[in-house]
Amino acid sequence: MNKVEFSEAVAGLPLARAEFYESVGSTNDVVAAWAGEGAPAGICLAAADEQTQGRGRDGRSWHTPAGSALAFSLLLPPQGAEAGQLGRISGLGALAVCEALETLGVAAEIKWPNDVLAGGRKLCGVLPEAHWAGNQLQAVILGIGINVAAESVPGASELHFPATSVEQAAGKPVAAGGLLRAVLERILAWQPQLLRAEFLQAWEQVLAYRGQPVQLHSGAEPVVGVLAGLAADGSLRLLVDSAERTYPAGQVQLRPLVDRPSN
C-alpha cells in the first residue's frame, strides 16, 4: 500500500488524525508517542507499508515486509475503558478483521484472544496496549497486522502457529487499501458498542474451537478443557472436569487438541 491508496482508504472516515509511513519501527510506538505529545480528541490512526520492529504478544516479533502486508495502529479514547472495555479491545480488532474478510468471501475465526484464522491458519494478529501513569489510564492502543499477500507469510522456522495470507485464503488478489477501509469501518461501528452484549455475542459467534477440547498454556502445566465461550470482560470460559473456569488473556496461550494444518 502506498500513500495514495492510504488516502483513498481513509477518505471521509471520522478519524482525528491519520498518517501513513513508508517504513517505521512500530506503528504502536508511533501512536504511543502521539499520546505522550497530547493527541487530538477522537480516534487516531498510523499505518505503514513496512514495519522493522513490529511485535506481537509475549514480546514476539511481527513480520511486516514492504508491499505485501497491512500494519496499522489506532489510538483510542481512554474515557470509559476503566469500566470494562480493556479486556474487549483485542476482540474489537479481531472481530472487525473477520467481518472485513467476510466481504471477500473468506470465512475467518478468532483464536482467542487476538489472532484471526482462515482455514485454521493465522493471517492476522492484534496487539492491544494500555499505557498508564499510576492509576490513570493515559492511552489505549490497538495494533493490527494482516498478511495480505503470500510474500508476507514468514518462513516455517519463524512460525509459532501455521500461517497464511488473505490472498491465499481468498484465492485472488486483494487490494490492501480496500481491506484497510473495510476493517476501519467495522472498528468504527463496533467501538461505541464495546460494553454491549451484542458485541460480545458477535465475537463469540466467530470464536475458533468453541465446544472443542483445547489446551491453555499459562504455567508449568497446560490446562486441558472444552472451550465454552467468553466471559463478560472478554476472558475465556473453559470447562475443566465439569467445572467452568475463567482465564484472562495475560500470558495465556491457546492451542487446539485436534490436529492442526502442517507447516
Residue 46's closest CA among 144, 174, 149?
144
Q: pTM for the whole thing?
A: 0.92
Q: Same domain, yes or no, for 244 and 182?
A: no
As a whole number of angstroms, the distance between CA 52 and CA 74 comes to: 18
Q: Is residue 21 situated within a structural domain?
A: yes
pLDDT tens per residue across span 80-122: 566 567 889 989 999 999 999 999 999 999 999 989 999 999 9
Q: Is residue 263 situated within a structural domain?
A: no
Tell me, what CATH number does 251's domain have? Answer: 2.30.30
Q: Same domain, yes or no, for 251 and 176?
A: no
As a whole number of angstroms, the distance between CA 215 and CA 35 comes to: 37
Residue 78 CA neighbour count, 13 Å, CB half:
18
Q: Same domain, yes or no, for 160 and 88?
A: yes
Contact (Cβ atoms closer than 8 angstroms) between residue 112 and residue 254: yes
Q: Same domain, yes or no, for 227 and 138?
A: no
Tell me, what CATH number does 116's domain have? Answer: 3.30.930.10
Q: Same domain, yes or no, for 193 and 224?
A: no
Which conformational region is residue 159 in: left (phi greater than 0), alpha (psi within -120 to 50 degrees), or beta? beta
At residue 217 the predicted structure's pLDDT band, cuts being 50, 70 and 90, is: confident
Q: Same domain, yes or no, for 70 and 95?
A: yes
Q: What is the pLDDT of residue 111?
A: 96
Q: Same domain, yes or no, for 129 and 19?
A: yes
Please determine, for residue 174, whether its predicted confidence score (pLDDT) is greater than 50: yes
Q: Same domain, yes or no, for 182 and 227?
A: no
Q: Is residue 117 situated within a structural domain?
A: yes
Q: Same domain, yes or no, for 107 and 180?
A: yes
Number of structural domains, the chain? 2
pLDDT tens per residue across span 142-156: 999 999 999 988 766
Q: Which of 182, 205, 228 is the endpoint of a domain?
A: 205
Q: Same domain, yes or no, for 48 and 162?
A: yes
Residues linked to residue 55 through DSSP beta bridges, in sequence order: 61
Q: What is the pLDDT of residue 261?
A: 47
Q: Same domain, yes or no, for 234 and 105?
A: no
Q: Is residue 262 situated within a structural domain?
A: no
What is the residue range of 35's domain?
3-205
Chain-wide mean pLDDT for the chain?
Answer: 89
